[in-house]
Amino acid sequence: MEKKELKTKHGNIQLPAFLPDATYGSIRTASFNDVKKAGINEIVSTTLHLEQKIGSQYIKKMEGLHKFLNWNRPILTDSGGWQVFSLINSNKGNKQNRITDLGCSFIDPASGDYSLLTPEGSIVIQANLGADIMTVLDDPIIGDASLKARKQSVELTTKWASRSKQKFDEIYNGSYKPYLGAVIQGADDKKMRKESAEQLLELDFDLYNFGGIPMYSDISWKKDFPTGFYREMLAYVSDLIPDNKYKYAMGVGQPEDIAYCVDAGWDIFDTVLPTRNARHGYLYVNEGQGNESKSYDSKRANKTLSYDIMHLRSERYKYDDSPVDETCDCECCRTVSRAYLRHLIRIKEPAGQRLCTIHNLAFYAKWMEQLRIKN
């Protein structure tokens, strides 16, 4: 039986779902009204960034993130684990940046303040925010980490998942419970991925997430890796998770990777790609509209799904007064020409970045629609 939706108290999430990243409680350059009009129904927000920039206690006082943002649709929060991992790895020289059994300690490079993020603390922050779907703190590692590091990461991730769940059950001891997801680690090692999945399945979470380096089929973090590697690993990990659990492919990805992962059984996706690329004039458009073609033979959609990339900064659009995508009815495509938008992007004008963001989100929303099971 295929899962079609995930019910939250802020509405149902139609599956498979793509969630854009509202890192600091905002999709950069766009308003939430823009985001809704683009067809987006749910967002991801970043626990650690919100805690550091404004504080979850403050947001709790403001009656939660939904009310604060005036976003009355589902919100998924991450655990902060990935941000801490990135912070620690980019500031290895600082001895206060380290992972222990207790949690992650680190110096915030912006404020210089010492912070400790524990598994329990991450759950408390996410509860203060009032997330509909939460994520337990994990210990991510890079793909080719040593066997010792892989083992440690899997072990610690399970320990922290267990402590997180305990804290979660303490906070939510009544009839209402948000969803809670655990993150499967194990890097590039199938055996370790299996161990991680088995240990976390014993703890019985609602969601199981693919942890580690996000996968982009055309941007490999490790140059000598075959492109298909992550696809194979994602399919392998999906098969380790029973189908009655929700499967969240964190950080995936390009439209064709999402379509692949849907075929492999994954339900939920988040990536900064459409919004970040939009701000650089890298647009996702329907077939025949852009200057670089992509396609994927989708089992779920039962057809070949195709789209084009448009590099809007290119000289070829300088005198082009047609809309970005003739077949799209978003605000961007209804109101401005490629030539004008190209000008705005070239001078980094926020008004242009906003319109491109709206278009890319509308493209992703429609892409997901094609991958949903029709009644």
CA geometry: angle 279, 280, 282, nearest 5 deg: 105
Candidate residues 359, 360, 364, 371; the one interacting with Zn ion per rule CB under 5 A = 359
Please identify, using beta-carbon distances, which residue of 119 and 274 lies nearer to Zn ion. Answer: 274
Stretch of 40-48, 61-69, 164-172, 326-334 lying at the interface with Zn ion (CB under 5 A)? 326-334
Instruction: Name the token pair of 240.
Output: 């380790």
Nearest approach in angstroms of CB 262 to Zn ion is 23
Nearest approach in angstroms of CB 327 to Zn ion is 9
- Contact call for residue 330 and Zn ion (CB under 5 A): yes
Residue 267 appears among annotated catalytic residues: no
The single residue of 78, 138, 188, 263 carrying the catalytic annotation is: 78
- The set of residues, in sequence order, having a beta carbon less than 8 Å from that of 199 and lying 6+ positions away, is 154, 158
Of 80, 9, 1, the C-alpha closest to 44 is 80
Please identify, using beta-carbon distances, which residue of 161 and 278 lies nearer to Zn ion. Answer: 278
Work out the number of other CB atoms within 10 angstroms of the CB of residue 255. Answer: 26
Nearest approach in angstroms of CB 330 to Zn ion is 3
Residue 270 appears among annotated catalytic residues: yes
Candidate residues 333, 365, 368, 371; the one interacting with Zn ion per rule CB under 5 A = 333
Stretch of 236-244, 318-326, 339-347, 349-357 lying at the interface with Zn ion (CB under 5 A)? 318-326
Stretch of 67-75, 163-171, 211-219, 330-338 lying at the interface with Zn ion (CB under 5 A)? 330-338
Residues 85-114 that bind Zn ion (CB under 5 A): none
Residues lying near Zn ion in the complex (CB under 5 A) are found at: 325, 328, 330, 332-333, 359
Q: Which residue numbers are catalytic?
A: 78, 270
